[in-house]
């Protein structure tokens, strides 16, 4: 444990500091949204429509008169809820599946791999749009769809690691000592195969944020008046030609900084878990 914390300290540079700072800001926005948001995120005020940034409305208002700052703050909950829950669900399902199909090479494993090939043969965005259209444009339906799309990614990562580990001498020694298949898989192989998957979790959260925003941008994600970054950008894009820049700019920046946060945290996780990695600065 001491060596682990020493490794964390050695690789903790400027990039990791920025990543954790952005993560802290998002956690604060999620936990304290009712206290720091100046207005309700869903109450429209037609008399305040499309007001530019001012003292009363720091980020301005949209076409319905809703305060953009309040909606950006509350949207952090929606976007992170969808992204984190979908990735966690994909991790919980994909890791055991990948472990089993990597350890047992049979017809059943081949069948599952062909199913994954079928899912991944479609463009992720197009398949996500189709599934959300079938299930309905609700927050949890979007999370379920993204989870389904990410399962093959985690399963393939674990399978690749298992295939390289299952013939190692320490696994053969465990078999000779009488260890069962379950014991070998979960006590000997899985702990050594999780490193790339842990890194992928952070990267996948950023990908899920982009997919969620993209689906909402084209009208296939969550619906109004739910505060969601991509939906806000989509609504604001219609007024950009009129010089109303603030409606789309601020939720767009929220997407950029959130994705940057998880990309930096993913690099930091890789540096900490990879003994050959150089310090990220």
Q: Residue 134 CB: number of other CB atoms within 10 A?
A: 9
Residue 280 clears pLDDT 80, i.e. is over it? no
Which pLDDT value is given to residue 11? Answer: 67
Residue 278 clears pLDDT 70, i.e. is over it? no
Model pTM score: 0.87
Tell me the mean pLDDT in the region 19-48: 90
Residue 51 belongs to some domain of the structure: no
Query: CA of 89: how far to CAs of 57, 148, 254, in Å?
Result: 38, 9, 24
Residue 53 clears pLDDT 80, i.e. is over it? yes
Q: How many domains, in total, are found in the chain?
A: 1
| SS3 (DSSP) at 67 | strand
Structure tokens at 183: 């014991």
Residue 256 belongs to some domain of the structure: yes
Cβ–Cβ < 8 Å for 145, 132: yes
Residue 45 belongs to some domain of the structure: no
Tell me the mean pLDDT in the region 239-254: 88
Q: Which residue has the tokens 């509350």?
A: 74
What whole-number percentage of the chain has pLDDT above 70? 94
What domain range includes position 229? 2-40+56-273
Cβ–Cβ < 8 Å for 264, 19: yes
Cβ–Cβ < 8 Å for 127, 149: yes
Residue 181 belongs to some domain of the structure: yes
pLDDT higher for 54 or 175? 54
Residue 280 belongs to some domain of the structure: no
Q: What is the CATH number of the domain that holds 206?
A: 1.10.3720.10
| Positive/negative CA dihedral, 31, 136, 233, 200 | positive
Residue 116 belongs to some domain of the structure: yes
What whole-number percentage of the chain has pLDDT above 90? 34
Query: CA of 31: how far to CAs of 28, 169, 221, in Å?
Result: 5, 48, 24
Roughly how many angstroms between the first and final C-alpha of the chain, as a whole number?
A: 24
Cβ–Cβ < 8 Å for 91, 151: no
Which pLDDT value is given to residue 279? Answer: 47
Which pLDDT value is given to residue 2? Answer: 62
Helices (H) and strands (E) in the chain, counts: 12, 0
Q: Which residue has the tokens 């444990």?
A: 1
Q: pLDDT of 185-238, one tens digit each? A: 888 888 888 888 888 898 899 999 999 998 888 887 888 888 999 989 988 888
Query: CA of 181: how far to CAs of 93, 159, 176, in Å?
Result: 19, 16, 12
Query: CA of 119: how far to CAs of 97, 113, 179, in Å?
Result: 15, 10, 35
Least confident of 19-33, 63-77, 209-223: 209-223
Residue 246 belongs to some domain of the structure: yes
Residue 166 belongs to some domain of the structure: yes
Could you tell me which residues come within 8 angstroms of residue 24 by beta carbon, excluding any fewer than 6 positions away? none
For residue 43, the Cα-to-chain-centroid distance in whole angstroms is 29
């Amino acid at each position: 444990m001491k060596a682990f914390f020493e490794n964390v300290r050695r690789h903790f540079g400027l990039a990791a500091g920025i990543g954790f700072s952005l993560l802290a800001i998002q956690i604060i926005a999620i936990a304290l949204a009712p206290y720091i948001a100046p207005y309700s995120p869903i109450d429209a005020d037609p008399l305040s429509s499309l007001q530019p940034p001012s003292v009363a409305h720091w980020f301005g208002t949209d076409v319905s008169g809703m305060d953009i700052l309040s909606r950006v703050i509350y949207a952090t909950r929606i976007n992170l809820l969808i992204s984190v829950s979908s990735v966690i669900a994909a991790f919980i399902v994909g890791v055991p599946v990948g472990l089993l199909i990597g350890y047992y090479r049979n017809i059943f494993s081949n069948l599952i791999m062909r199913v994954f090939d079928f899912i991944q043969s479609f463009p992720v965005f197009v398949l996500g749009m189709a599934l959300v259209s079938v299930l309905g444009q609700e927050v949890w339906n979007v999370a379920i769809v993204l989870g389904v799309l990410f399962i093959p990614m985690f399963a393939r990562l674990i399978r690749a690691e298992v295939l390289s580990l299952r013939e190692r001498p320490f696994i053969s020694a465990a078999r000779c000592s009488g260890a069962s298949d379950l014991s070998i898989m979960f006590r000997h192989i899985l702990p050594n195969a999780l490193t790339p998957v842990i890194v992928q979790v952070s990267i996948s959260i950023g990908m899920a944020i982009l997919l969620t925003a993209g689906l909402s941008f084209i009208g296939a994600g969550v619906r109004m008046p739910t505060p969601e970054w991509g939906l806000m950008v989509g609504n604001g894009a219609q007024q950009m030609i009129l010089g109303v820049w603030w409606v789309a700019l601020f939720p767009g920046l929220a997407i950029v900084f959130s994705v940057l946060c998880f990309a930096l945290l993913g690099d930091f996780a890789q540096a900490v878990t990879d003994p050959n990695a150089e310090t990220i600065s």
